[in-house]
Amino acid sequence: MIRLLLFAPLLFVGSRALAFQLDELTKYIDSHQEEYVQTLREWVAVESDSSDVQKRSEVERMMNITAEKLKAMGGNVELVDIGLQELPSGNSIPLPKVVTAQFGSDPAKHTVCVYGHVDVQPAKKEDGWATEPYNLTDLNGNLYGRGASDNKAPVLAWIHTVEAYQALGIELPVNVKFIIEGMEETGSNGLDAMIISQNDTFFADVDYIIISDCGWLSRRPALTYGTRGNCYFFAEVEGPTQDLHSGVYGGTVIEPMTDLIGILDTLISPGGKILIPGIPEAVAPLSDEEWKMYQDIEFDVENYKQKIGVSHLMYSSKVDLLAHRWRYPTVTIHGIEGAFSAPGTKTVIPAKVIGKFSIRQVPNMDPAVVEKQVTDYLNAVFGRRKSPNKLKVTMVIGAKPWLADTQHPLYDAGKEAVKKVFKVDPDMIREGGTIPIAKTFQDVTRKSIIMLPIGGFDDGLHSQNEKMSRYNYIEGTKLFVAYLHEVGQIKRD
């Protein structure tokens, strides 16, 4: 009893000191939000589209801007060469260098590594944007621009977090490392090899890895503990040696487009059931614990339908929708290359068409196995058509799913940080999309990983009118500030 009485005042004083520091940091962030928005405006103005080799210089410029920003803060910064990218023409061009940085090297502290990317998806005003995609536009509290949410604002929020500690002379509670790339939107080319090569150097003293390349499910803040993988396929059907006139040759040749549509139609049923043998059977059943977790998540089905502009969904219950969005695989047909798609009419029989589709995969599914299952199945289906045309199936992306332990102290720290900043408990969610690097980090470094999102549920990632709300950007920075403190309190094993 005496020992408890002696220690109680010390605990109380410590909590007061923390509250004062957090308050000072949040006030600093509030007072610098216009500066933060201006920096985001400058970053969004860089058309760092990694899918377009003609804009590779813009991606490289974005990497240099990022490196200079971190150098100006006193970080130990490197631009790491990750090799060459081979183009379809057979030529090769350099991959954008990866930026690494370090702030602090105190062996008594935990070391966190923040991952992010500063490349973006393609965007044009004529695609349906209400504003110029590379001119950050502040409307009704939202900051519209390509890459605003995915992933430039979250990267900047982490940088501003370190800046805030520095500006107030408050010691960082953990050592902070950054690894920022410029090829995430096209599969993180070269990054896996870099992580492997630097596992015993850059990552040697890293305790935890933080990824903020994701978003909330609703207006309630969230912590993300899982993502689906992605196997992306090309199904190429080749027939005549050249395109043909449908009036002259229609009815006499077996058309590649007809074959392609025929085999694509066998991938998934109208009700959403994957028809490829072996894939549905690989999925782990939904446990009672997961069902209960999904029940407690804030998710408005009607609002979800309204947001995406549909009258009906594949499933009607919240649990079914979330489960099929996060922890069941799905097939999506994305498009057909070689088909006529321009406005107007063109009576052509394409000589070669390439169907593009992907399978979002979940834990218990392996890309190499999925590749064989899909290839064997489509070849069998095509064979039954008795077509003289040629089919070639290629898997061009094989990204693995990722799943974390929600009982890890990283997630406890996340819950505490969310409570401090937003005064609510976070939703525990998974992502339907793919962040391939999470699984690489997990497999190679063996470090614990958390996804700590600040993006909004309606940010429109990869879509027209992508935005980051000013609220999420500024309050998200405060969340990161609080989170570093909470991670600093994690006891060492």
Per the CB < 8 A criterion, the answer to whether 145 and 48 are in contact is no
Helix (H) or strand (E) holding 380: helix 367-384
Starting from the edge strand earliest in sequence, which strands make up the sheet with 142-144, in order? 137-139, 142-144, 467-469
Q: Which helix (H) or strand (E) holds 478?
A: helix 470-488
104 and 161 Cβ atoms separated by less than 8 Å: no
Q: Is 412 exposed, middle or buried (0-12, 13-18, 19+ CB in 10 A)?
A: middle
How many residues does this entry show for the chain? 493
Six-digit token string for 177: 């490392």
Contact between 256 and 353 (Cβ < 8 Å): yes
Question: Annotated binding site for Mn(2+): which residue ranges?
Answer: 117, 150, 185, 213, 462
The single residue of 119, 255, 259, 459 carrying the catalytic annotation is 119
Asked whether the beta carbons of 370 and 361 are under 8 A apart, the reply is yes
Q: Is the pLDDT of residue 285 over 60?
A: yes
Contact 461, 138 (CB under 8 A): no
Binding residue positions: 117, 150, 185, 213, 462
Contact criterion met (CB below 8 Å) for 420 and 25: no
61-79 confidence digits (pLDDT tens):
999 999 999 999 999 999 9
> Is 119 known to be catalytic?
yes
Q: Going by DSSP bridges, is the β-strand pair 222-227/402-403 parallel, antiparallel, or unpaired?
A: antiparallel
The pLDDT score that the predictor gives to residue 6 is: 33
Lowest mean pLDDT among 10-19, 336-345, 394-403: 10-19
> Which DSSP helix (H) or strand (E) runs through 211?
strand 208-211
Q: Residue 2 above 80 pLDDT?
A: no
Q: What is the mean pLDDT of residues 407-413?
A: 97
Rounded Cα gap, residues 255 and 250, in angstroms = 8
Give the global pTM. Answer: 0.87
- Mean pLDDT score, 115-128: 96
Question: Which among 49, 163, 181, 184 is annotated as catalytic?
Answer: 184
pLDDT in tens, 170-208: 999 999 999 999 999 988 999 999 999 999 999 999 999
**Helices 2-31 and 33-44, axial angle in degrees (round to 10):** 60
**Which range, of 84-93, 231-240, 441-450, averages the lowest pLDDT?**
84-93
- pLDDT greater than 60 at residue 14: no
Structure tokens, 191: 């990054």
Taking residues 402-426, what's their average pLDDT?
96
Active site residue 184: yes
The three-state DSSP-derived secondary structure of 21-32 is HHHHHHHHHHHC
From the list 456, 450, 461, the residue with the least C-alpha distance to 472 is 456
> By the 8 A CB rule, do 375 and 387 touch?
no
pLDDT of residue 348: 95
pLDDT, position 19: 52
